[in-house]
Structure 1
Amino acid sequence: MAPYDYNRDADPDVTDVETWWDYWQIDGRGCEFAVVAGFQGDSRLIRGAETLSGAPRNTPPSLCDGGPRALLDFETPRAQAATKAHQAFEAWNAFASAYPPARPAGDFWARHFTDPEGYPSAMVIEDFRTQPVIEALGERPDLEELVGGDPAARFANDLETLISDAVDEVLPTHALLTLDGRWLSVAGREGRRYFNDYLDRLPRDALVVRVLYHG
């Protein structure tokens, strides 16, 4: 990774260095890439051999830590995320239609932050959870697993935005090292969109690799 691991002496003239790494290794750590069907055994694919503890990793053939961009299947997991978001949206709206509309937890927390003594955090939790539809959701763990614990916030936007956000969240991790050596922080909707656009524009032979590091 040198010189991009920042394991070097501090330079007073360099202002963009944010961290110095203690260690790093090739490891998707739950964020492995899907492999294009038919290329699972391609020798150009990259799979880290060990976990941080030194135990052998057993990465299934359908996944890898990296490889040429052409061998990485970005679209299948994106499509799966879109389908799941659509299913969750429809399931929540069908379920919630029998109850008064719920307010997202953020509304209650905003009141707490304005008046923490007059409206303590215990009341925030109680008022949110005792909304009829949220109470009813608590009795449906199967549905709650699909829609999440705060569906009033999750499904506040239209279906198109929900699906777009779900698709954009599949690939990004918290940082991106570009081919020209720039470290970019990936945060928020705009950051995730840039991450996806960048990967989609890469040459087919460009190597894309997940790296686990600690600074």
Structure 2
Amino acid sequence: MHHYTVTVALPGETQLDEVEKNLAGALEPFNKEKEVEQATDPLGRTYWTNPAGRWDWYLIGGRWSHHLPIRAGADPADLIFGSRSWGNTHAILDPTFCDGGRIRALDLERKRAAQAKKALADWNDYAAVIAGTPQHQAWETFSTRAKEAEQAASRPWHEFYTEAKAKARANAGLGDNAAPDDTADRYSALLDEEMDRARAAWNTSLAYSFDQAKRDYQAQPRIAALRAHEAYRGRGMNPPEREFGDLDRDTYIQQCRDQAIPGYAMLTHDGRWLSADMPWVPSSDDRARHAAHLIEVNTYLDSLADNMILILVDCHT
């Protein structure tokens, strides 16, 4: 389960007091819980769920409340304010932003310019950190080697895992079929200990482990410099070398500018769902596809008539 943003456009004839009804109608084709006739997918699997389903509930604004910038002098009657998520109920939000409104009431360029300005500062910071360091090898170089070592291992990981679990149960005094409810804390502690031993034994058995791959990757001068930089700590799945990649300054700034308004997906006024569906670890082809997607969405946004409506929706799936 996760949340993501969808920017929705509605026709200009939509009245603002009918926005919720019209928004529901626009999103309904993508409702995961919508009843559909029995269908069979290309693999021969039968299902009754909506094959176009993308969400099971949504909020206007939600976790991304106040995402769209208000144009100076805009008519308040042209603006839309939705609901906050439980996580930002008490957050102080910028009063010059809203959750939607007619195009004439929104200042999309203001947010694009702000994103571009931030991108320039971020780029300069990144360039300063990596200055003088050699180009690093991609993580995939190391992870591929580790995957190949696992495939060539004399014993698979699941054997180590099964043995560790059995030892923990035995040490906790549990029989083969007994549930660990009564000794949950003791069993959990023993299981952690046995799993640590199992992982150590598993890694030792490999010609090249993922732990070694991580050490080798992070030992590279450029990666080491990035990891030591305070601003880049805790980046998790989006480390700086992945965010900036091999993009030059102007390309990076343009892509950040292009990402200012579009959500994860764009639902057009004529019912087209536009999304790039980026994987967690994007390839160069994925990045190129995403850049093309952003250009398509921004071109569409810039073509909207002044009386059309744009709304930021927090979708859950």
Question: TM-score, normalization: structure 2?
Answer: 0.56
Q: CA deviation at 1:194?
A: 1.5
How far, CA to CA, are the matches of 1:58 and 1:44 in structure 2?
23
How far, CA to CA, are the matches of 1:86 and 1:94 in structure 2?
12
- Is 1:70 the counterpart of 2:96 in the alignment? no
Aligned to 1:133, which of 187, 209, 222?
A: 222
Q: Which structure dedicates a bigger proportion of its chain to helix?
A: 2
Corresponding residue of 1:163: 253
Q: Gapped runs of 5+ residues in structure 2?
A: 1-23, 42-49, 151-205, 278-289
- Give the AA of the match of 2:72: A
- Is 1:10 the counterpart of 2:16 in the alignment? no
The structure that has the greater radius of gyration is 2
Aligned to 1:185, which of 275, 290, 295?
A: 275
Corresponding residue of 1:123: 212
Q: CA deviation at 1:74?
A: 1.7
- Is 1:24 the counterpart of 2:58 in the alignment? yes
Corresponding residue of 1:91: 125
Once the two structures are superposed, what CA deviation does each residue of 1:156-205 show, in whole Å capped at 9, x if it has no partner? Answer: 12222212222222222222221112223344222222122111111111
Corresponding residue of 1:175: 265
How far, CA to CA, are the matches of 1:92 and 1:57 in structure 2?
30
Q: CA deviation at 1:33?
A: 0.8
Q: Which has the higher contact order (CA 8 A, sep 6+)?
A: 2
Q: CA deviation at 1:52?
A: 6.0
- Give the AA of the match of 1:129: Q
- Is 1:202 the counterpart of 2:202 in the alignment? no
How far, CA to CA, are the matches of 1:209 and 1:171 in structure 2?
11
CA RMSD of aligned residues (A): 3.4
Corresponding residue of 2:142: 108
Once the two structures are superposed, what CA deviation does each residue of 1:101-149 show, in whole Å capped at 9, x if it has no partner? Answer: 333334333433444454322122111211223323333303x26x973
1:186 and 1:195 in contact (8 A); partners too: no
What's the % identity of the aligned pairs? Answer: 27
SS at 1:26's partner residue?
strand
1:177 and 1:184 in contact (8 A); partners too: yes
1:28 and 1:211 in contact (8 A); partners too: yes
Q: 1:190 to 1:113 in 2, by over 3 A?
A: farther
Question: TM-score, normalization: structure 1?
Answer: 0.79
Q: CA deviation at 1:214?
A: 3.4
Q: CA deviation at 1:42?
A: 1.5
1:46 and 1:67 in contact (8 A); partners too: yes
Aligned to 1:37, which of 72, 96, 109?
A: 72
